[in-house]
Structure 1
Amino acid sequence: MPIVPLFLNILWIVFGGLWMAAAWLLAAVLMAITIIGLPWARAAFNIAAYTLLPFGQRAVSRELVTGQRDLGTGPLGLIGNMIWFVLAGWWLAIGHLLTAVALAVTIVGIPFAWAHLKLAGIALWPIGKVIVPA
């Protein structure tokens, strides 16, 4: 990892990234416990890792990476995202939004607030996303 993303990721962990990654991990574990929630758990584990170290990576649709639709990017993915929204997406998005507001108050925290806003959008619809190097 280049030095700038490494430095930003270290600052990110200190200023709110760690607790939001823990929230994603909690959501993933809760989904995995239910067995029925395993598809959501996999997506939440991937996003938890991304939330812990977001700089130098980005989340994109799996359809853009593979060039073809699959279960997560088609109609079943839409239904899965709607179920995710009801079960966990809204409270993860609120956590990211509150953290973004707290960071945006400071001038230094504005880039981190912007990253939390991006993660809030991903929190609403994580199914069908894949993390790729930026």
Structure 2
Amino acid sequence: MTPVSMLLNILWILIGGAWMAAGWLIAAVIMAITIVGLPWARAAFNIAVYTLLPFGSRAVNRYDVTGMEDIGTGPLGVIGNIIWFVLAGWWLALGHLLTALALAITIIGIPFAWAHLKLAGIALWPIGKVIVPA
């Protein structure tokens, strides 16, 4: 991780990243408790870590990394993402959007608001994503 990424991640945690990472973690725990939700729990946990430290890494489609389709990148992944959207995706995306709006008021907060907007998109459709270094 570069020094700039490290500084941005520290600032990110202090001004809103920690509470959204906690939201992702809560979603992962709730999904894991149901046992049926374990595939969503794994995706939510991975994105919780990404939400805690978003600078210096990015989320990409797993197919783009591996070059092969799997359960998460095929038709079952689409169904899983639809179920995710109904159960947890919309409220996580809403949290990211509200935080982005609050941060966009200041000039210093604009890069952080942009990161929240990217995370809001991931919140709507997380299955089949993988986090890679930028």
Same fold flag (TM > 0.5): yes
Which secondary structure does the structure 2 equivalent of 1:13 belong to?
Answer: helix
* Percent of pairs with identical residues: 81
- 1:27 paired with 2:4, answer no
Within 5 Å, give how 1:115-130 maps onto structure 2: 115-130=115-130
The CA distance in 2 between the partners of 1:38 and 1:68, in whole Å, is 22
- 1:47 paired with 2:60, answer no
The CA distance in 1 between the partners of 2:97 and 2:2, in whole Å, is 28
Name the aligned partner's letter for residue 73 of structure 2.
T
Name the aligned partner's letter for residue 43 of structure 2.
A
1:99 corresponds to: 99
Which secondary structure does the structure 2 equivalent of 1:24 belong to?
Answer: helix
Name the aligned partner's letter for residue 89 of structure 2.
G
Name the aligned partner's letter for residue 99 of structure 1.
T
The CA distance in 2 between the partners of 1:43 and 1:81, in whole Å, is 10
Instruction: Report runs of 4+ in structure 1 exceeding 4 Å deviation.
Output: none
The CA distance in 1 between the partners of 2:90 and 2:111, in whole Å, is 22
Unaligned ranges ≥5, structure 2: none
Per-residue CA distance 1:43-67 (angstroms, 9 max, x = gap): 0000000000000000000000000
Paired residues, number: 134
The CA distance in 2 between the partners of 1:53 and 1:94, in whole Å, is 20
Per-residue CA distance 1:21-55 (angstroms, 9 max, x = gap): 00000000000000000000000000000000000
- C-alpha deviation, 1:116, in angstroms: 0.1
- C-alpha deviation, 1:2, in angstroms: 1.2
The CA distance in 1 between the partners of 2:69 and 2:115, in whole Å, is 27
2:81 corresponds to: 81
The CA distance in 2 between the partners of 1:85 and 1:112, in whole Å, is 24
Unaligned ranges ≥5, structure 1: none
The CA distance in 1 between the partners of 2:86 and 2:106, in whole Å, is 32
Name the aligned partner's letter for residue 65 of structure 1.
V
Aligned alpha-carbon RMSD (Å) = 0.3
